[in-house]
């Protein structure tokens, strides 16, 4: 996981120093191909193989090899298509790649022999600069993928990265989208393990949300009207309180237009989980058209509880509007209305009696958001679960009737729920009480049945059948008791049948519906039929619907609506509509709308409408501009020589988010909630924010809803537009902190949103301490770094809290100490096995609570063997090397001791050889070790270790190192942890002006300086570090393959 996290934060770049000279011989194919063509490749082509990082929005990143040649980048086709999961087959000689692109009918062929790409019916010729073959595969220049396949690859040489942009739904994107949808379903079900859960907080009074709007209209030759509204939201007595005040210059304050509601919810309660008071929306059998002032109580939770199956919901709104579907305040889907305003949802069936809400987002004034509550006819409960709902209130009409309803349901089986209750309405003189029964039943897997019996009023049955192809057939029948007065129409029967089917043929996507309805009255039967087709293909939205109405056996009256939507560029749309009288073969009306957007904030529209039947014509110009704090609009309509103008503005305020900040917005805030994320440095590790603990900047987060706001010069992070009484998952990422000592203990939070307020979420960022040192092996009078030694860290009680392993050069490090006293000790079991003792046996140290973390250095241990040791000859007493071929003159100065190449430790008691004097001969220039010896003599440098034959397959992780600059390098440390390597690099950089960085080699993160073209430069760099007490060695990259 650490490596994956490092890859996502830093581009892992692989640069091969090998220069490959590929000579592709002329291939004779005349005997096989009659056209006599030859397949040519770039002769004597010189290129570099590099590692690039492919980035795909919404997917992530992927490392792949590429070729850099003639200042252009070439991408391996098979590797790219393999990652994107595009079907492909590579020929044996790597001279062609074939398969199908996204659809089995869309075949493609990339041919080196023909120098072409064929995709379906399209052919793209290639010259030798666009296609390239190596012994490992076939490459295309990056821009060709966009022209032939719509895969736009933008190369950034500075970061060696490729960014893929495409409007196509690639297989890998589709799989990830489906996987994300599965994760979202699991989250909605609550099947997610979190680190911390923040439950609902109850307050006597808290919060402050306010929405405002002003709309004014003027008419030539008539009166003007100004309407204003103010909505206030807060928490009162532990419940959500919303008040909406409406004023009109014509009617003043009309009590019937004022809205107020108090809502309390607690999903942890057993008997009562929800209470609503004020103007309520009861589920009634009797017809109630006036608002009801009363109270409802229920033990139904507010959470989204999906059961099985779905219910097709269709309706109309304005063209192009966005419709959101909420179940118990949890958004589960959204759709965009087509050119006629038609939209459809597959509403998931949920356990219990749930509130289904649609929110409509349109472009103008007060119609921006409108809520509509609907009832789904199917109601299932888990087996053995009992839920109830009780409502009572007064109907605010002329009768002031008393309304009451009590109902309950029980899950008999997961496929069967039964319920019943009684409804009372005092204005019904014949029988104010209406007992009722209902049931929901699922059988044969694809059948759903819902039945309802209301005594003295009606009997209803609804049957739904869904095929695996999503074809839905539905029958709905209602029989009314003759003479009943509870429902305000005199139908005897209602008969409905509908068939809906989503159509998918290639790239063609549409929704078709056919419905038939009969209303049976005593004297006549009224019938209607509808056929609808809604589709979106190649940027054009279309809706074609036909209607027929007739009485009993009479002739039908038929008419049709046709609506189209065109995208003219990125910011212009055109929507024409027409209504046609099919019976009389006449045109009824026309409507056309042209809309232009500017920078996503300003919108200008022109609408022309003509009703030929009623001789009505109008033309309207409207302009809307979205300010950060308000949405404003103005329109002018000329109709029948009368001018109507309208101006509107609306916005919202949100208070109490911290630091005196007042959030202003052009969207509604009342009835919603928010979060204030407070990341702070928990220096003392008590989990609480103390007065002297500062905020932590640089925190990144994700949340499954809402909108994240980050303000400059403010470390607090705010999330707005969250639904109250719902839980959200907050994911925290600590990789963005500027200090690696700042770490998070909890990274996944489940947060229950409080209504009409900002919920404070404190994120304690632990400030960790670090300890490092060296482990040396004593060999006579010399010491050398010893790797793979276990160091245990114990707390003040003697318990082991952490442990680490020394690196190859003896360096060890651990980051993750809370403030306190600790001890470092070499593992006693390992010491016993190696027959060694440690000096000192234990080192005590203390981590202090500092804001940027405390670092304890120089925890140095020396290992001493308990076995008899052979006599070791000191360097000063080393025997001289054999005499050179030429005698050395007496005046010549004695040579400095020669550098010895560092060898890997092979046993617990390594053999230490005496140093040798340098040998001067004609092969000096070819021997890098002797070059280093001479360089050390020239500088009179300290004794430095040398390691040769280092790998050429190194990858730069961070820094400005150029691997191609030379063979010599200086290394200061090698770690299994990138954070430890980064810490050492940050400490050493101020001591040097040389190129520096971190490379990945052999599975370790190595801190290096260089690379250097000459030994003198490398020795100079290493000598400067050694004189400051920093242990380094000089490395020489292998000459093989150079």
Phi and psi of 1002, rounded to 5°? 65, 30
> 598-605: long-range contacts at Cβ-Cβ below 8 A with a sequence spacing of 24 or more?
598/571, 601/625, 601/626, 602/626, 603/363, 605/363
- Give domain status of residue 584, yes or no: no
Instruction: Specify the residue for token string 């472009």.
Output: 363
| Pairwise CA distance, residues 824 & 79, whole Å | 48
| Token digits of residue 481 | 């008791």
Residue of 221 and 368 predicted with greater confidence: 221
Same domain, 791 and 734: no
Element (H, E) at 267: none
Same domain, 39 and 124: yes
- Give domain status of residue 72, yes or no: yes
**How confident is the model over 36-49, as pLDDT tens digits?**
333 333 434 567 77
Same domain, 58 and 109: yes
Task: Name 624's bridge partners.
Answer: 603, 633
Q: How long is the chain?
A: 1042
Range 171-175 average pLDDT: 77
Task: With a cut of 50, say whether residue 854 has pLDDT above it.
Answer: yes
| Token digits of residue 183 | 């994760």
Phi and psi of 982, rounded to 5°? -65, -40
Instruction: Specify the residue for token string 């092969």.
Output: 923
Peptide bond into 323 cis (omega under 30): no
Residue 268 pLDDT: 85
Cβ contact 148:61 at 8 Å: no
Residue 972 to residues 36, 783, 809, 980, Cα–Cα distance (Å)? 61, 17, 9, 12
899 in helix, strand or coil?
coil
Same domain, 683 and 798: no
pLDDT band at 83 (very low <50, low <70, confident <90, very high): confident
Task: With a cut of 90, say whether residue 244 has pLDDT above it.
Answer: yes
**How confident is the model over 522-549, as pLDDT tens digits?**
889 999 999 999 888 777 888 899 999 9
Instruction: Specify the residue for token string 């093989």.
Output: 1040
- Which alpha helices (H) appear in 36-111, and where do they start and end? 77-84
Same domain, 719 and 782: no
- Give domain status of residue 212, yes or no: no
684 in helix, strand or coil?
coil
Element (H, E) at 737: none
| Token digits of residue 559 | 């008419």
* Domain boundary, last residue among 152, 177, 202: 177
Task: With a cut of 70, say whether residue 17 has pLDDT above it.
Answer: no
pTM greater than 0.85 = no
79 in helix, strand or coil?
helix
pLDDT band at 211 (very low <50, low <70, confident <90, very high): very high
| Close Cβ partners of 150 (under 8 Å, ≥ 6 residues apart) | 166, 167, 168
Same domain, 756 and 784: no
Range 92-114 average pLDDT: 89
Residue among 513, 442, 516 at smallest CA distance from 471: 513
- CATH of residue 859: 2.60.40.10
Residue among 154, 145, 125 at smallest CA distance from 52: 154
Same domain, 341 and 374: yes
Same domain, 156 and 270: no
Phi and psi of 914, rounded to 5°? -70, 155
Most confident of 582-591, 896-905, 998-1007: 582-591
- Give domain status of residue 236, yes or no: no
Exposed / middle / buried, residue 993 (Cβ in 10 Å: 0-12, 13-18, 19+)? exposed
**How confident is the model over 289-325, as pLDDT tens digits?**
888 999 999 998 877 555 555 667 777 777 777 777 7
Same domain, 789 and 861: yes
Q: Return the minimum-mean-pLDDT range out of 13-22, 124-133, 172-181, 933-942.
A: 13-22
* Domain boundary, last residue among 706, 740, 767: 767
| Pairwise CA distance, residues 1001 & 979, whole Å | 16
Element (H, E) at 719: strand 717-722
* Buried b / exposed e along 27-57 (16+ C-beta atoms within 10 A): eeeeeeeeeeeebebbeebebebbbbbbbbe
* Buried b / exposed e along 360-384 (16+ C-beta atoms within 10 A): bbbbbbeebeeeeeeebbbbbbeee
| Pairwise CA distance, residues 886 & 536, whole Å | 91
| Pairwise CA distance, residues 811 & 974, whole Å | 8
Residue 361 pLDDT: 66
980 in helix, strand or coil?
helix
Instruction: Specify the residue for token string 């997610």.
Output: 192
**How confident is the model over 677-700, as pLDDT tens digits?**
999 999 989 888 998 889 988 888
Task: Name 1008's bridge partners.
Answer: 971, 997
Residue 392 pLDDT: 95
Task: Find the farthest-apart pair of alpha carbons in the chain and give their distance in angstroms, rounded.
Answer: 137
Q: Give the Cβ contact number of residue 532 at 10 Å.
A: 20
User: Domain tally for the chain?
Assistant: 5
- Give domain status of residue 1026, yes or no: yes
820 in helix, strand or coil?
strand
Residue among 984, 988, 998 at smallest CA distance from 1024: 988
Average pLDDT, the chain: 80
596 in helix, strand or coil?
strand
Cβ contact 703:751 at 8 Å: no
Residue 242 to residues 41, 329, 397, 427, 618, Cα–Cα distance (Å)? 74, 15, 23, 30, 39
| Close Cβ partners of 192 (under 8 Å, ≥ 6 residues apart) | 186, 729, 748, 750
- Give domain status of residue 402, yes or no: yes
| Pairwise CA distance, residues 1024 & 1002, whole Å | 27
Same domain, 793 and 851: yes
Same domain, 842 and 988: no
Q: Return the minimum-mean-pLDDT range out of 418-427, 435-444, 735-744, 943-952.
A: 943-952
| Close Cβ partners of 716 (under 8 Å, ≥ 6 residues apart) | 657, 658, 659, 661, 676, 677, 678, 695
- CATH of residue 942: 3.30.70.1070
| Close Cβ partners of 637 (under 8 Å, ≥ 6 residues apart) | 618, 619, 620, 643, 644, 645, 646
* Domain boundary, last residue among 723, 741, 767: 767
The parent domain of residue 829 ranges over 770-865
| Pairwise CA distance, residues 1005 & 977, whole Å | 7
Task: Give the chain's end-to-end CA distance (angstroms, integer).
Answer: 34
Instruction: Specify the residue for token string 């290992």.
Output: 863
Give the distance, in angstroms, between the CA of residue 245 and the centroid of all CA atoms in the same chain: 39
| Token digits of residue 487 | 């429902």
Residue among 432, 437, 366 at smallest CA distance from 402: 432
pLDDT band at 881 (very low <50, low <70, confident <90, very high): very low
Angle at 527 between CA 522 and CA 533, to 5 degrees: 160
| Token digits of residue 13 | 């770049």
| Pairwise CA distance, residues 418 & 412, whole Å | 7
Cβ contact 360:323 at 8 Å: yes
User: pLDDT above 90 covers what percent of the chain?
Assistant: 36
* Buried b / exposed e along 145-163 (16+ C-beta atoms within 10 A): beebbebebebeeeebbbe
- Give domain status of residue 594, yes or no: no
- Give domain status of residue 166, yes or no: yes
Residue among 808, 307, 949, 343 at smallest CA distance from 334: 343
Same domain, 763 and 782: no
pLDDT band at 877 (very low <50, low <70, confident <90, very high): very low
Phi and psi of 833, rounded to 5°? -70, -30
Residue 328 pLDDT: 58
| Close Cβ partners of 483 (under 8 Å, ≥ 6 residues apart) | none
Pairing of strands 386-395, 292-298: antiparallel
Residue of 353 and 130 predicted with greater confidence: 130
* Extended strands (E) in 375-507: 386-395, 402-413, 416-425, 433-443, 447-454, 458-466, 472-480, 493-505
Q: Give the Cβ contact number of residue 63 at 10 Å.
A: 15
């Amino acid at each position: 996981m650490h490596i994956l996290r490092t890859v996502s934060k830093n581009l892992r770049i692989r640069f091969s120093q090998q220069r490959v000279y590929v000579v592709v011989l002329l291939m004779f194919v005349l005997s096989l191909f009659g056209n006599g063509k030859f397949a040519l490749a770039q002769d004597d082509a010189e290129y570099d193989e590099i590692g690039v990082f492919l980035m795909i929005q919404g997917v992530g990143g992927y490392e792949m090899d590429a070729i850099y040649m003639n200042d252009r980048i070439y991408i391996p086709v098979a590797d790219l298509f393999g990652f994107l999961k595009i079907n492909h087959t590579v020929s044996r000689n790597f001279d062609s790649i074939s398969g199908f692109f996204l659809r089995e009918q869309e075949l493609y062929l990339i041919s080196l022999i023909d120098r072409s790409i064929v995709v379906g019916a399209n052919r793209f010729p290639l010259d030798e600069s666009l296609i390239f073959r190596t012994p490992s595969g076939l490459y295309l220049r990056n821009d060709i993928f966009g022209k032939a396949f719509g895969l736009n690859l933008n190369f950034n040489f500075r970061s060696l990265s490729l960014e893929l942009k495409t409007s196509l739904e690639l297989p890998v994107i589709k799989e990830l989208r489906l996987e994300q949808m599965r994760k979202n379903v699991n989250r909605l079900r609550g099947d997610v393990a979190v680190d911390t859960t923040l439950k609902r907080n109850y307050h006597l009074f808290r919060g402050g949300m306010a929405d405002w709007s002003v709309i004014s209209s003027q008419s030539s030759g008539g009166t003007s009207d100004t309407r204003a509204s103010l909505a206030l939201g807060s928490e009162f007595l532990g419940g959500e309180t919303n008040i909406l005040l409406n004023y009109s210059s014509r009617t003043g304050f009309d009590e019937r237009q004022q809205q107020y509601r108090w809502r309390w919810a607690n999903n942890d309660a057993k008997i009562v989980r929800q209470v609503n008071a004020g103007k309520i929306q009861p589920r009634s059998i009797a017809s109630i058209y006036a608002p009801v002032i009363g109270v409802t109580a229920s033990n139904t939770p507010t959470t989204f509880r999906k059961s099985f199956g779905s219910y097709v919901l269709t309706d109309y709104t304005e063209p192009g509007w966005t419709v959101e579907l909420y179940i118990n305040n949890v958004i589960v889907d959204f759709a965009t209305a087509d050119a006629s305003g038609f939209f459809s949802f597959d509403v998931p069936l949920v356990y219990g009696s749930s509130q289904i809400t649609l929110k409509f987002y349109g472009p103008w004034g007060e119609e921006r958001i409108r809520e509509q509550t609907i009832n789904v006819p199917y109601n299932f409960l888990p087996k053995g679960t009992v839920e109830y709902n009780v409502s009572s209130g007064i109907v605010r009409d002329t009768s002031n009737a008393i309304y009451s309803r009590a109902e309950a349901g029980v899950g008999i089986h997961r496929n069967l729920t039964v319920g019943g209750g009684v409804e009372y309405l005092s204005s019904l003189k014949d029988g104010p009480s209406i007992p009722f029964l209902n049931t929901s039943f699922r059988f044969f897997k694809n059948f759903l049945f819902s039945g309802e019996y209301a005594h003295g009023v009606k009997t209803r049955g609804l049957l739904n059948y869904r095929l695996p192809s999503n074809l839905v057939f539905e029958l709905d029948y209602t029989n009314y008791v003759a003479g009943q007065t509870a429902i305000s129409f005199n139908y005897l029967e209602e008969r409905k049948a509908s068939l809906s089917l989503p159509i998918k043929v290639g790239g063609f996507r549409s929704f078709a519906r056919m419905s038939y309805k009969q209303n049976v009255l005593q004297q006549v039967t009224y019938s209607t039929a509808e056929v609808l087709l809604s589709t979106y293909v190649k940027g054009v939205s279309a809706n074609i619907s036909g209607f027929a109405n007739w009485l009993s056996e009479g002739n039908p009256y038929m008419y049709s609506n046709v609506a189209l939507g065109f995208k003219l560029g990125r910011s212009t749309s055109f929507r024409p509509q027409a209504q046609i009288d099919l019976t009389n073969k006449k045109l009824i009306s026309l409507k056309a709308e042209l809309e232009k957007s500017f920078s996503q904030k300003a919108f200008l529209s022109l609408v022309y409408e003509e009703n030929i039947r009623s001789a009505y014509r109008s033309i309207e110009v409207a302009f809307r501009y979205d300010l950060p704090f308000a949405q404003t609009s103005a329109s002018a309509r000329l109709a029948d020589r009368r001018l109507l103008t309208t101006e509107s503005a609306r916005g919202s305020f949100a208070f109490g988010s911290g630091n005196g900040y007042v959030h202003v917005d052009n969207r509604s805030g009342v009835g919603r909630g928010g979060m204030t994320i407070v990341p702070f440095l928990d220096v003392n590790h008590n989990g609480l924010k103390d007065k002297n603990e500062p905020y932590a900047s640089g925190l990144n987060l994700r949340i499954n809803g809402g909108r994240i706001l980050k303000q400059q010069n403010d470390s607090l992070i705010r999330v707005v537009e969250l639904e109250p009484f719902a839980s959200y998952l907050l994911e925290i990422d600590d990789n963005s902190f500027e200090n690696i000592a700042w770490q998070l203990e909890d990274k996944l939070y489940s947060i229950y949103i409080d209504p009409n307020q900002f919920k404070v979420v404190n994120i304690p960022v632990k400030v960790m301490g670090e300890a490092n040192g060296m482990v040396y092996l004593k060999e006579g009078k010399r010491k050398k770094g010893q790797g793979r030694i276990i160091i245990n860290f114990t707390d003040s009680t003697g318990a082991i809290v952490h442990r680490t392993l020394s690196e190859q050069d003896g360096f060890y490090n651990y980051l993750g100490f809370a403030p306190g006293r600790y001890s470092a000790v070499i593992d006693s079991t390992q010491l016993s096995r190696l027959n060694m003792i440690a000096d000192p046996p234990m080192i005590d140290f203390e981590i202090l609570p500092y804001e940027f973390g405390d670092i304890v250095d120089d925890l140095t241990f020396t290992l001493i063997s308990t076995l008899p040791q052979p006599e070791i000859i000191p360097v000063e007493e080393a025997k001289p090397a054999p005499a050179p071929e030429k005698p050395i003159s007496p005046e010549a100065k004695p040579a400095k001791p020669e550098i010895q190449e560092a060898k890997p430790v092979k046993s617990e008691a390594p053999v230490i050889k005496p140093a040798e004097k340098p040998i001067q001969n004609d092969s000096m220039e070819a021997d890098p070790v002797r070059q280093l010896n001479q360089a050390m003599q020239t500088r009179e440098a300290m004794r430095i270790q040398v390691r040769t034959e280092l790998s050429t397959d190194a990858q730069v992780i961070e820094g400005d190192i150029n691997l191609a600059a030379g063979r010599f390098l200086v290394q200061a440390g090698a770690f299994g942890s990138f954070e430890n390597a980064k810490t050492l690099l940050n400490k050493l950089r101020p001591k040097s002006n040389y190129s520096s960085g971190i490379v990945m080699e052999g599975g370790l993160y190595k801190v290096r300086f260089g690379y250097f073209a000459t030994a003198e430069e490398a020795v100079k760099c290493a000598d400067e570090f050694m004189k400051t007490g920093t242990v380094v060695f000089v490395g020489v990259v292998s000459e093989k393959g150079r």
